[in-house]
Amino acid sequence: MSREKLTKLKNWYAKESTMGWVFILPLLLYFIVFQLAPMLLSFGISFTSWNLRSPAEFVGFENYKNLLFDSVNYPDFWPSLWITLKYIVFSLPGGIFIALVLAAMLNANVKGEGFFKTAYYIPNITAMVAVAAMWIFLLDPKYGLVSQLFDIDQSWLGSKSTALPTLGIMAIWSALGYNVLILLTTMKGIPDELYESATIDGANAWQKFTKVTLPMIQPTIFFLIVTGLIAAFQVFDQMYLMTGGGPDGATQTYMLSLYNHAFRYFEMGTASAMSYILLIIILIITWVNFKFIPQRFDD
Amino acid sequence: MKKQYLFSIILVLVLVLITACSSSENSSSKSSAGGDTKDASLDFWVYEPESIEGKNKLKDLAKKYEEETGTEIKLTFIPKDDFNTKLNGTIAVGNNPDISYLDQPLVPQFAKDGVLLNVDQYVEGENGINRDDYFDGAFNSVIVDEKLYGLPLNQSTVVLFYNKDLVEDPPETFEEWIDMAKEVYQKGEIAAFEGIGDGGYAAWLYPALVHSAGGSMVNDDETKATFGEGKALEAAKLLDELLKYSDQSVRDTQNAFGNGLIATKISGAWDIDNYKNNFSDLDFGVSLIPYKEGEKSHSNLGGDDIVIYENTEYPDASWDFIKYLTNDENAITMSEITGNFPVNVNAAADSRYKEDENLSVFSKQIETAVARPRITEWLKINDEVVGSSLDKVIISGEDPVKVMKKAQEDANVIMSK
């Protein structure tokens, strides 16, 4: 190799952007092979009838049409969407609100902040299977802690009216640590001067919270709402592990129904179509979020 | 700067290694072309046995066969929950095993998709089998459109379990069962009947009651659903009536039957060991599924088959091996490994199935057990129509007759597609 060429190569190599690409290459490859390619493929599959065993057959918009209008062959579609929405109502606003209260309390320089942060975060890093096993134990209708506490024999996961709210509460509990941590970190980042000047203006603690803290953490709350909504639309493991969609379909969420189509009935086309319908729903809702929920404090 | 060099060199090396490994794997598989020789090599996929002894027994069986014939058997253990997903995935890319277990209701689908080897040619031949060695119900589960697509591997059925401390004599008829329920029921404390689970599982148990009521799930040529008409409706009414004396809070308590809170339940042979090993205080017995007066006790039939894939390089060796697994001697071992009953009549005549007070009831029940309809869409009808309708009766307390009639109409729409 000539010296000139070598310098050229060296220069190319030394460029920051080159190094940047090298560093993200593993993730980029992973993303393309395991995420982007399957996504594009499943878009194609959503227009076919395919059970993995016989060749895929192009059916146009048939899968989409059947899901939306054929309630005999696809009885789960609309109910599962509705149940997912209900689940979001049970789990998301309450979850963020409780996290906000806890974060504000921890932010008041309480003793043992580190302990509480860790304690709240543990559910978040515990495997869902373990969490589910523990909750099944707690929720036992006769001998479970919850029934004993309220002194009633209630099948929390077995009766239609309580199953979904119970799973919602469980979700709040397991996401709490993450939400608290994110909110608390943002609260810690608020400059002290703001509170000082509020004090000089004669603001009390409540006013400081509503006029200084809340506006300053609004972007974070927005972030939690958007990501929380997207995650809640895709809720799956709890239902799969704890109720299997029952009782009487009360916890049959959208993703669970999608899973059944894909891996129980092997209707890959239908399942792919469902995932694209969900994508569209999530896109619309996220757009609405960006449009109507305040992302930052503007005077 | 130096560090960066080092890092990217390592990175590139790793990437090269990864790609090299994966491509070499591809080229080595299935490269040994050739006919059906003594050095055939068979990929055999099985459910991961629940115990290590089961696993070893299976390995021993394979090893013995290898020594006798020189054919290599490559066993792959896969947890039952993942089995069908993994299997379908490999079929999609043509990388499937030569032989595998297959759940009975999947056989018609796989056969119609042309992935299974039709083994009719072997049955009559020199290395054939005697059709009468196998139980009818189990054998029928591998027949699709009058063609044979493998051999039955094991079979299971369900019977009535009863708590001897609560029930002296097990009910024989629906009427006795309801009388028993009224007697034994204590609000919030004792439930007369455990129920039949929910969703797809409920729909799997339910046919036992339908057939014992004198009804059927589908008509004889399996073209129309019949579980929502005539005598079949007695099963739904029975269920509805029994559950009046069975509080949900008691039924949903964990291990309620094991802890003596429930008088009767329907379950399979797997629960015998469960209750014997884990609930020493429980005094339980098993008996035949009760029937509607004037009818006969029936139960459902489940189990697995063993199938050969159409793209195998060694069809003759594959046939020889599945025949070996289901012969008089090995059928017992195979049913032990899977926790079910042998499909082979001679094996089932073994004293262990005839003399044991519990297993003998199962053996008797199997004689009148009815297999699932062999309809491609059955799994879906089972879950989404029968299962969800039973949920409406069991959980939401809707009128059983109305719900099951509507379910039959829906099932017929799906079947007429």
Domain locations along chain A: 1-36, 67-292
Position B205 in a domain? yes
> How far B91 CA lies from chain A's nearest CA (Å)?
6
**Does B82 reach chain A within 8 Å, measured CB to CB?**
no
CB nearest A244 (choices: B91, B199, B251): B199
> How far B396 CA lies from chain A's nearest CA (Å)?
7
- Record: contact B383-A260, CB cut-off 8 A: yes
- Record: contact A155-B252, CB cut-off 8 A: yes
| Chain B CA closest to residue A56 | B92
The parent domain of residue B251 ranges over 158-301+371-415
Domain boundary residue, one of B313, B330, B355: B355
- Record: contact A245-B199, CB cut-off 8 A: yes
CB nearest A52 (choices: B89, B198, B252): B89
CA distance B261 to A153: 14
Position B200 in a domain? yes
pLDDT per residue as tens digits for the range A45-88 = 999 999 888 888 899 999 999 999 988 888 889 999 999 999 99
Residues B274 and B313 in one domain: no
Residues B175 and B322 in one domain: no
> How far A155 CA lies from chain B's nearest CA (Å)?
5
Contacts of B8 (CB under 8 A, 6+ apart): A19, A22
Question: Would you say residue B286 has pLDDT above 90?
Answer: yes
With beta carbons less than 8 A apart as the criterion, state whether B257 and B163 touch: yes
Residues B197 and B309 in one domain: no
At A299, the amino acid letter reads: D
- Record: contact A246-B391, CB cut-off 8 A: yes
> How far A242 CA lies from chain B's nearest CA (Å)?
13
Residues B204 and B242 in one domain: yes
Please tell me the total count of domains within chain B. Answer: 2
CB nearest B396 (choices: A52, A137, A248): A248
CA distance B80 to B75: 15
- Record: contact A265-B92, CB cut-off 8 A: no
Residues B308 and B293 in one domain: no
B223-230 contacts at long range (C-beta below 8 A, 24 or more positions apart): B223/B415, B224/B412, B224/B415, B225/B381, B225/B407, B225/B408, B225/B411, B225/B412, B225/B415, B226/B408, B227/B386, B227/B404, B227/B407, B227/B408, B227/B411, B228/B404, B228/B405, B228/B406, B228/B407, B228/B408, B228/B409, B228/B411, B229/B405, B229/B408
| Chain A CA closest to residue B10 | A22
Confidence of residue A298 (pLDDT cuts 50, 70, 90): low
pLDDT per residue as tens digits for the range B251-268 = 988 889 999 999 999 999
Confidence of residue B25 (pLDDT cuts 50, 70, 90): very low
Residues of A in contact with B114 (CB under 8 A): 53-54
Confidence of residue B9 (pLDDT cuts 50, 70, 90): low
pLDDT per residue as tens digits for the range B356-412 = 888 889 988 988 888 888 888 888 899 889 999 999 888 888 899 999 999 999 999
Question: Would you say residue A3 has pLDDT above 90?
Answer: no
Residues of A in contact with B93 (CB under 8 A): none
Residues of B in contact with A261 (CB under 8 A): none
| Chain B CA closest to residue A140 | B253
Considering the domain A67-292 in this protein, what is its CATH number? 1.10.3720.10
CB nearest B396 (choices: A140, A160, A266): A160
CA distance B138 to B155: 7
Residues of A in contact with B388 (CB under 8 A): 75, 248-249
Contacts of A21 (CB under 8 A, 6+ apart): A28
- Record: contact B91-A52, CB cut-off 8 A: yes
**Does B254 reach chain A within 8 Å, measured CB to CB?**
yes
pLDDT per residue as tens digits for the range B27-81 = 333 434 444 556 789 999 999 988 888 899 999 999 999 998 989 999 999 998 8
Residues B342 and B214 in one domain: no
Strand positions, DSSP E, B239-345: 262-268, 284-287, 299-308
Q: Percentage of residues in chain B with pLDDT exceeding 90?
A: 48
CA distance B356 to B47: 27
Instruction: Suggest the residue from A266, A267, A268, A270 to mutate for an interface test with chain B (most B CBs closer than 10 A).
Output: A266
Position B4 in a domain? no
> How far A94 CA lies from chain B's nearest CA (Å)?
28
Give the CATH number for residue B325: 3.40.190.10
Residues B279 and B375 in one domain: yes
Residues B218 and B350 in one domain: no
Residue of higher predicted confidence among A299 and B223: B223
